[in-house]
Chains A and B, each alone.
Chain A
Amino acid sequence: MFTHFYYHLKHFGVPVSFSEWQTLMDALDAGMAGSSLTGFYYLCRAVLVKTEAHYDRFDLAFASYFGDVETPEGLPEKIWEWLDKELPPIEVTEEMRRNHQQLDLDEMKRMLEERLREQTEEHHGGNRWVGTGGTSPFGHSGYHPGGIRIGGDGRNQSAVKVAGMRRFQEFRTDETLGVRQFQVALRKLRQFTTRMDGTKDELDLDATVDKTCQNAGRLELVWDRPRENAIKVLLLMDAGGSMTPHSRLCNQLFTAVNKSNHFKDMQIFYFHNCIYDWLYHTPTCYQDDYTDTEYVLRTFSPDYRVMIIGDASMASYELLREGGVIDWGLYNDRPGIDWLTRIRRRFEYSVWLNPIPKKYWDWTDGAFTIRAIREVFPMEELTVDGLERAIKILMNKQSTGSALSMVQ
C-alpha cells in the first residue's frame, strides 16, 4: 500500500533503493512501527535515509505524503501552542526594539496566521508547513533575530509535525558550506587517480615478506605500481569587483584547494571579469605581474584539470568585443569569448564554478554572459554539491555546446 510513497520519496530526491525498501517491509511485518505514525516516521527514516543531508528532503516528502492524515483544522492550533512555548529567550534591548517594531509578538502571530491561511489555500494540503526557508521570520533555522523559531523537542508531537519542522534543513548539501566540506569534496579528485595504469616498478616490501615466508624462506619479490596522484590542477579565479560579495565563499574554496596537497601540481592565476591575453599572479591583478595566456595555453599539458571560478557576469561587450577589457590602458585584439573557447579547447577537463546560485542564473544582471559562457564551459554553482558534480566533470571529458566551432 505504501508503494506510492517509495516513488514519492524518489521524486523528492531521496535515493531509496529497492533492497532498503524490502528491509522496511520486513520491519513493518515485524510490527516495528508500533502502529503509530511517529513510530513509522522514525522507522522509515532510519531504514531509508542514509545521510543527514537527505533528512530535510525526507521530512518534506513525508509531510506532503502523509500530511492529510491529520485533520487540517487541528494544525494551526498546535502551531499556536508552539508559539507560546517556544519564544526565543534572547532579550531584546530597547534600541533593538525601536529598530524592529515589526518584530512585535502580536504582529508576528497575526502575520503567521495570515501566512498559514495563504499557504493552505495555495497548496491544498500539500506543503503548507511553516519553516520552509531561512529568510522567513517563521521557521527554525532562519536568522531573523527575534523572529519566531518554530521547532523544538520532538518528543510528544506527531510525525507529520516532526517532519513539518524540518529540523535538518541546515544539512542540505546544496547549501554553501565551509572549507572542511570543500576539502572532503576535493578528495574525490584523488579517488579516481590512485588506481592508474603504469609499470609495476616499486618493491612491495610487505607482500614480499609475506610471499617469502609462505614459501618457507625462498625469496620471492613482489612488485607494485607506485601510488601517486597524477592530477594537475589549474585554478583561474575572477578577482573582479563583482566577485566581492562572494569573496568569503571563494576564499573557502581557495583555502581548501590550497590545503589539498595531494595534487601533483597546482597553479593559480587571476583575472579581472573575463580572461584576455594576460593571467595575473595576484588577486590585485597588477598590470605588470602576469603570464601570457598564450604561454599557458602552449605550455600547460591538456591533462591539467582547469577550474575557473567566477560569476561570469559582465557587460556583454567585455565578453564579445575586441577592446572590451574593462581595465583602463589595456586593449585586447581577441574578444574574451575567443580566449575562453581556446582555453576550453586546450583543456578538455575543465569546468566553471559560479558562486551565484544556479536558480538566479537566468535573471541575474549577468544572465546574458552567463548563458554565453555556459555554451563554452560546463557550469556548476559553487556549493558542495556543485563542486562534487564539477569534480565528476573534471574526471571525465565532457563536450559542451556548439561554441567549440566558434573560433576561426
Chain B
Amino acid sequence: MSKMVQYKGSENYIVSDELRNSVNIAIALGKPLLIKGEPGTGKTMLAESIAHALDKQLIVWNIKSTTKAQDGLYVYDTVQRLYDSQFGDHDVANIKQYIKLGKLGEAFTADEQVVLLIDEIDKADLEFPNDLLWELDQMSFYIPETKETITAKTRPIVIITSNAEKELPDAFLRRCIFHYIAFPEPEEMERIVRVHHPDLEDKLLHQAMDTFYMLRSVPHIQKKPSTSELIDWLQALVVGGVKPSRIKKDLPFLGVLLKKNEDLDTLLTQLYNKTQGRIGQRATGFR
C-alpha cells in the first residue's frame, strides 16, 4: 500500500469529504465502490471525475435489463464463424479471432490501470451481480473456447452505481465498499445551482431554496423534488418574473417540482392543517 493513489476531486465536480474518503478507501483496498443515492446526486459523474482527476481511461459498462454477466466478459461470435466456414475466407480453426472481449474484459486487458464504471447495476436481472462475484474478486476469468485465462494486469478502479430498483445480493455487497450520496445540504446546493444559474438574484435563490427544502421535508411526499427539478423551477421563476417575496406564499409553478397528483394533494392537506393550527397532532403513530 505504499504507492497509494489519492483522489482529491476535480474542478467540475463538487465532492464531499465523506465521498472522497470512500473513493480512496476503495482504491487502496482494490475493491469495487458501490454508489447509491437519489437521482440527480451525481453518481455517474463521479466515475468521470475520478478518471479525469487521476488521468486514467474511463470504460463505461451501461447495464440494461437484458444485460448478462457474460456480455461483460466476452462474446463468442459463433455466427460469424459459421459464415466464415461457409465462405472459406478465414481460417475458422483459430477460435481466438471470434472471441470479442466485453467491457470487463477490456478493463482487465488494458495495459494501464483504468476506471471501470458499471452503471445502474440494478437494472439487470436479480442474479446478475452474483454472476460477477468471482470475476470482480479475482479480477480474472477463463475462456473455455480458447482455454485462455484473462487476468487483470492492474486492478481497475471499479465504480458501480445503483438506483435501488432491486436489492443486491449479500454476497456481492460483502465484496464492495459502499457509499450513499446524501442529498446536498443547502450550502452545497447553492454552489451547485450557481453553476447552472450564475447570475441569479440572492433573494430569489434563497426564497426558492427555502421553499424547495420545505417541500422536501413534507411527510409522505412520494417523489421528492430533486436537484434538476429545482434548477428547472428557478428557470421558470426567472422567466415568469415572479417576485421573490411571493414565492413562499403563492408557490408558483408548483407542477415543476411536484410531478404527481397525489403529492400535490398531500401538500395541500398539510398546508391546510398547518393554517388550522393542528401541527402537533399529525399522525405520529406511524413513526
* Cα-based distance from A153 to B188 in the complex (angstroms): 9
Question: Is A288 an interface position by the 8 A CB rule?
Answer: no
- B28→A209 contact, CB < 8 A: no
- B166→A99 contact, CB < 8 A: no
Q: Which residue of A lies closest to B217 (CB)?
A: A143
Residues A46 and B21 in contact in the complex (CB < 8 Å), given A176-B286, A191-B126, A214-B78: yes
The 0/1 profile, CB within 8 Å of A marked 1, for residues 239-260 of chain B is 0000000001000000000000
The 0/1 profile, CB within 8 Å of B marked 1, for residues 192-213 of chain A is 0000000000000000011011
- B31→A134 contact, CB < 8 A: no
The one of B21, B164, B185, B217 that contacts A42, using a Cβ cutoff of 8 Å? B21
- B180→A179 contact, CB < 8 A: no
- A184→B29 contact, CB < 8 A: no
Residues A27 and B21 in contact in the complex (CB < 8 Å), given A89-B210, A143-B217: no
* Cα-based distance from A39 to B20 in the complex (angstroms): 11
Question: Is B14 an interface position by the 8 A CB rule?
Answer: no
- A144→B279 contact, CB < 8 A: yes
By a CB distance below 8 angstroms, the chain A residues around B218 are 143
- A50→B85 contact, CB < 8 A: no
- A216→B85 contact, CB < 8 A: yes
- B178→A50 contact, CB < 8 A: yes
- A357→B285 contact, CB < 8 A: yes
* Cα-based distance from A209 to B218 in the complex (angstroms): 55
Residues A90 and B29 in contact in the complex (CB < 8 Å), given A184-B166, A209-B79, A214-B78: no
Question: Is B219 an interface position by the 8 A CB rule?
Answer: yes
- The segment from B99-107, B110-118, B146-154, B169-177 that touches chain A is B169-177
By a CB distance below 8 angstroms, the chain A residues around B217 are 143
* Cα-based distance from A167 to B188 in the complex (angstroms): 16
- B219→A27 contact, CB < 8 A: no
* Cα-based distance from A39 to B280 in the complex (angstroms): 39
Query: How far apart are B146's CB and chain A's nearest CB, in angstroms?
Result: 13
Residues A153 and B81 in contact in the complex (CB < 8 Å), given A39-B21, A46-B25, A135-B284: no
Question: Is A263 an interface position by the 8 A CB rule?
Answer: no
Question: Is A91 an interface position by the 8 A CB rule?
Answer: yes
Q: Which residue of A lies closest to B25 (CB)?
A: A46
Residues A180 and B28 in contact in the complex (CB < 8 Å), given A135-B284, A216-B82: no
The one of A19, A55, A90, A209 that contacts B210, using a Cβ cutoff of 8 Å? A90
Per the CB 8 Å criterion, the residue count for chain B at the interface is 58
Residues A23 and B29 in contact in the complex (CB < 8 Å), given A143-B217, A145-B274, A184-B165: yes
By a CB distance below 8 angstroms, the chain A residues around B179 are 46
Question: Is A51 an interface position by the 8 A CB rule?
Answer: yes
Question: Is A373 an interface position by the 8 A CB rule?
Answer: no
The 0/1 profile, CB within 8 Å of B marked 1, for residues 81-94 of chain A is 00000000111000
- A52→B287 contact, CB < 8 A: no
The 0/1 profile, CB within 8 Å of B marked 1, for residues 385-404 of chain A is 00000000000000000000
Residues A27 and B28 in contact in the complex (CB < 8 Å), given A42-B21, A168-B180: yes
* Cα-based distance from A334 to B81 in the complex (angstroms): 73
* Residues of chain A from 55 to 78 with CB closer than 8 A to chain B in the complex: 55
Residues A50 and B174 in contact in the complex (CB < 8 Å), given A43-B21, A248-B220: yes
* Cα-based distance from A184 to B279 in the complex (angstroms): 32
By a CB distance below 8 angstroms, the chain A residues around B287 are 133-135, 175
Q: Which residue of B lies closest to A47 (CB)?
A: B177
Question: Is B182 an interface position by the 8 A CB rule?
Answer: yes
The one of A15, A134, A171 that contacts B284, using a Cβ cutoff of 8 Å? A134
- B18→A42 contact, CB < 8 A: yes
- B187→A43 contact, CB < 8 A: no
Query: How far apart are B204's CB and chain A's nearest CB, in angstroms?
Result: 15
By a CB distance below 8 angstroms, the chain A residues around B85 are 216-217
Question: Is A329 an interface position by the 8 A CB rule?
Answer: no
Per the CB 8 Å criterion, the residue count for chain A at the interface is 59
Question: Is A154 an interface position by the 8 A CB rule?
Answer: yes
Query: How far apart are B38's CB and chain A's nearest CB, in angstroms?
Result: 10
- A179→B222 contact, CB < 8 A: yes
* Residues of chain A from 20 to 59 with CB closer than 8 A to chain B in the complex: 20, 23, 26-27, 30, 32, 39, 42-43, 46-47, 49-52, 55
Question: Is A115 an interface position by the 8 A CB rule?
Answer: no
- A357→B165 contact, CB < 8 A: no
Question: Is A258 an interface position by the 8 A CB rule?
Answer: no
* Cα-based distance from A273 to B79 in the complex (angstroms): 63
Q: Which residue of A lies closest to B270 (CB)?
A: A143
- B78→A209 contact, CB < 8 A: yes
By a CB distance below 8 angstroms, the chain A residues around B185 are 152-153
Question: Is B91 an interface position by the 8 A CB rule?
Answer: no
Question: Is A360 an interface position by the 8 A CB rule?
Answer: yes
- B167→A184 contact, CB < 8 A: yes
* Cα-based distance from A217 to B78 in the complex (angstroms): 10
* Cα-based distance from A121 to B220 in the complex (angstroms): 35
* Cα-based distance from A153 to B285 in the complex (angstroms): 29
* Cα-based distance from A57 to B114 in the complex (angstroms): 35
Query: How far apart are A137's CB and chain B's nearest CB, in angstroms?
Result: 9
* Cα-based distance from A191 to B18 in the complex (angstroms): 35
Q: Which residue of B lies closest to A172 (CB)?
A: B287
Question: Is B17 an interface position by the 8 A CB rule?
Answer: yes
Question: Is A17 an interface position by the 8 A CB rule?
Answer: yes
Q: Which of B92, B174, B282 counts the most chain A CB atoms within 10 A? A: B174
Question: Is B22 an interface position by the 8 A CB rule?
Answer: yes
* Cα-based distance from A171 to B82 in the complex (angstroms): 53
Question: Is A155 an interface position by the 8 A CB rule?
Answer: yes
Question: Is B51 an interface position by the 8 A CB rule?
Answer: no
* Cα-based distance from A41 to B29 in the complex (angstroms): 17
Question: Is A187 an interface position by the 8 A CB rule?
Answer: yes
* Cα-based distance from A90 to B285 in the complex (angstroms): 26
17 A-B interface contacts by CB (under 8 A): A20-B174, A39-B21, A46-B21, A52-B180, A89-B206, A95-B275, A134-B284, A143-B218, A145-B274, A154-B18, A167-B182, A175-B287, A184-B165, A212-B82, A214-B78, A217-B86, A357-B285
